């Protein structure tokens, strides 16, 4: 029997599956998946098995080298169902479960874990980090990708234009305070739109929770959008896009000893 979803994603699952499709949305394809694969740095000689937490409809699984085994977990039954509709080798598995709760996985410890574009949908990141740690081998890597927590805070950050100096700048209204922010999946539908919820925490909270859960941070990367503007404002838009990253990636490693 399927458990009820702890997130609002069950309701927007159809829309999300359609916008991601088989190969991913624009940023999955252009930035996220290629860079995540580099950070995962799979071994050619040893066996690799990935635990993909909040896997959505499993887009990462469809970009993995054929020798890498994969276990995707997501709370939204509609997205797990969608994930299973794609063709998969038999070393890919999916489970509907809440990743903030104990996971009933009968699987040997994983060599890698991922959490892609989902941290900001989770109220209790520490519980997820502890779960990841529990299911990883000592020394295993954990790759987290999130909307940049300093510059891309929903409703509390925005582009502004300094007309006098012809500069597009980023305005940040709040950062240090934890926030729970409702997001409309389809802004054009107004109040009729399905909603998801975004949780904001400052970067230091993620670092502290990773440490508490038994990880060190090896690397932080910041990835800018590769889109290019045209027209009269192109110069300032392109410059500001290169100055304010869209995504942050954290490469964490399970401590050998807690
Ligand atoms: C933006 S989607 C990202 C999905 C996928 N990683 C991708 O890149 O396409 C966020 C996902 O987080 C999942 N999620 C949020 N909270 C969760 C929880 N507590 N347990 C499991 N999945 C959760 C949602 O169901 C949704 O699929």
121 part of a folded domain? yes
For the chain, the three-class secondary structure string (H helix, E strand, C coil) is CCCCCCCCHHHHHHHHHHHHCCCCCHHHHHHHHHHHHHHHCCCCCCCCEEEEECCCCCHHHHHCCCCCEEEEEECCHHHHHHHHHCCCCCCEEEEECCCCCCCCCCCCCEEEEEEECCHHHCCCHHHHHHHHHHCEEEEEEEEEEEECCCCCCCCCEEEEEECCCCEEEEEECCCCCCEEEEEECCHHHHHHCCEEEEEECCHHHHHHHHHHHCEEEEEEEEECCCCCCCCCCHHHHHHHHHHCCCEEEEEEEECCCC
Contact 119 CB / ligand 1 (< 6 Å): no
Cβ of 146 less than 6 Å from ligand 1: no
Instruction: Give per-residue pLDDT as tens, 23-59.
Output: 999 999 999 999 999 999 999 989 999 999 999 999 9
- In tens, the pLDDT along 10-31 reads 777 888 899 999 999 999 999 9
Instruction: Tell me whether residue 194 is in a domain.
Output: no
pLDDT tens profile 131-175: 999 999 999 999 999 999 999 999 999 999 999 999 999 999 999
pLDDT band at 178 (very low <50, low <70, confident <90, very high): very high
- pLDDT at residue 3 greater than cutoff 60: no
Could you tell me if the CB of 246 is within 6 A of ligand 1?
no
Asked if pLDDT for residue 185 goes beyond 80, the answer is: no
Q: In a mutational test of the pocket of ligand 1, which residue from 121, 124, 131 has the highest number of ligand atoms less than 8 Å from its CB?
A: 121
Residue 124 domain flag: yes
Domain holding 243, by residue range, is 8-153+200-254
> Would you say residue 211 lies in a domain?
yes
Q: Is residue 173 a part of any domain in this protein?
A: no
Band of residue 1 on the pLDDT scale cut at 50, 70, 90: very low
Of the candidates 209, 181, 214, the one whose C-alpha atom is nearest the C-alpha of residue 195 is 181
Please give the distance, rounded to the nearest whole angstrom, from the Cα atom of residue 117 to the centre of ligand 1: 7
Q: Tell me whether residue 71 is in a domain.
A: yes
Residue 3, domain member (yes or no): no
Number of domains in the chain: 1
Q: Residue 51: which CATH number?
A: 3.40.50.150
Residue 193 located in a structural domain: no
With cut-offs at 50, 70 and 90, classify the pLDDT of residue 183.
Answer: confident
| pTM: predicted TM-score of the whole model, two decimal places | 0.94
């Amino acid at each position: 029997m399927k458990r009820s979803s702890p997130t609002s994603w069950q309701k927007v699952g159809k829309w999300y599956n359609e916008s991601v499709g088989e190969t991913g949305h624009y940023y999955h394809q252009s930035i996220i998946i290629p860079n995540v694969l580099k950070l995962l740095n799979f071994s050619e000689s040893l066996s690799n098995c990935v635990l993909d937490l909040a896997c959505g409809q499993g887009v990462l699984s469809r970009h993995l080298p054929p020798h890498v085994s994969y276990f995707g977990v997501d709370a939204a039954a509609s997205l797990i169902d969608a994930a299973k509709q794609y063709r998969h080798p038999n070393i890919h598995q999916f489970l509907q479960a809440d990743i903030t709760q104990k996971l009933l996985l009968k699987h040997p410890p994983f060599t890698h874990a991922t959490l892609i574009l989902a941290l900001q949908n989770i109220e209790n990141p520490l519980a997820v980090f502890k779960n990841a740690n529990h299911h990883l081998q000592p020394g295993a890597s954990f790759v987290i990708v999130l909307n940049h927590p300093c510059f891309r805070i929903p409703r509390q950050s925005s582009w502004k234009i300094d007309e006098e100096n012809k500069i597009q700048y980023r305005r940040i209204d709040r950062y240090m305070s934890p926030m729970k922010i409702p997001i409309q999946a389809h802004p054009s539908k107004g109040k009729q739109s399905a909603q998801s919820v975004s949780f904001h925490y400052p970067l230091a909270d993620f670092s502290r929770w990773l440490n508490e859960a038994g990880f060190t941070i090896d690397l932080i990367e910041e990835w800018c959008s590769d889109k290019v503007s045209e027209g009269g404002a192109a110069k300032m838009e392109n410059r500001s896009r290169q100055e304010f990253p869209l995504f942050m990636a954290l490469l964490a490693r399970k401590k050998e000893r807690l």
